[in-house]
Amino acid sequence: MPYTANQPPRAESNDELRARIPGWGADLDPKDRPSVPRERFDPGATGAHWEFPDRQEEKWPRERSIEHKFLTPVFGTSSPPKGLSGVLRKFAYATYSEGRAAHWLILLGADRVDAIESHLKSFLTTRPDNPITETGVLSEFHRNGFSSRFGRKRVDLHHQWIDPILVAGPWIAAVCAIVWGARALAKR
């Protein structure tokens, strides 16, 4: 009870805990904890045999945070920027530091644009996006979708219904827009 000075009594003694839990207290001494202290200067410990790493070849102007002095010597080369989303991404990196909300909001917006651009582009390929297989919803049938959810007081059910709307909504809106556009054209 915090209203008086004493430490509350322990429910189990060390010996009881040791008997019940294999390894109890093995790292009681902070010296045995590998991340204590947090910083430990030890350049020999990492396996690096360079003072500064060789530089990886830059095959396209690699977007980077303006909080960096230069392009880091090593970087990922997945999915180079392209299309409108690429323009937005390059703009966000070149213009705003990580400290600015605009940086992240533009990047998030570019992600949505990227998804739309990529879906549209996939329809010009032999492998168009398939929302049924790509969302994995069919696993509802063989992974107990019903019994995993109901009768279990799961609070995430309060918002899971939003997911199909987020996923299917834009598709339905696109179909409606096309139908509406076609009708408008036909009426002319």
Nearer to another protein by Cβ, of 66 and 177: the residue is 66
H-helix segments, 14-74:
14-20
Smaller CB separation from another protein, 12 or 180: 12
| The token pair that represents 75 in the structure block | 């970087």
Length of the chain in residues, anyone? 188
Cα–Cα dist 82/121, whole Å: 12
Range 44-63, binding another protein (CB under 8 A): 45-54, 56-57, 62-63
Return all residues near 91 (Cβ < 8 A) that are at least 6 apart: 106
**Element (DSSP H or E) covering residue 145:** helix 145-149
C-alpha 89/C-alpha 82 separation (Å) is 9
List all residues 6 or more positions away from 88 whose beta carbon is below 8 Å from its beta carbon: 106, 107, 109, 110, 113
**94 touching another protein, by CB under 8 A:** no
Strands (E), 48-111: none
Please, which residue, 167 or 179, has the CB nearer to another protein?
167
Q: Interface residues for another protein in 155-174 (CB under 8 A)? A: 155-156, 158-160, 162-163, 166-167
Beta carbon nearer to another protein, 41 or 185: 41
Residue 15 binds to another protein (criterion: CB under 8 A)? no
Q: Which of 19, 87, 111, 182 binds another protein (CB under 8 A)?
A: 111
Candidates 77, 48, 84; CA nearest to 62 is 77
Closer to another protein by CB, 104 or 180: give it.
104
Per rule CB under 8 A, count of chain residues that contact another protein = 103
Q: Shortest distance, CB of residue 176 to another protein, whole angstroms?
A: 19
Compute the distance between CA of residue 174 and CA of residue 168 in angstroms, rounded to an integer: 10
- Smallest gap, in angstroms, from Cβ of residue 76 to another protein? 3
Q: Which of 5, 15, 60, 78 binds another protein (CB under 8 A)?
A: 78
Nearest to 86 by CA among 62, 56, 121: 62
- In the window 18-47, what residues touch another protein (CB under 8 A)? 20-28, 30, 32-36, 38-43, 45-47
Compare residues 75 and 180 and give the one whose CB is closer to another protein. 75
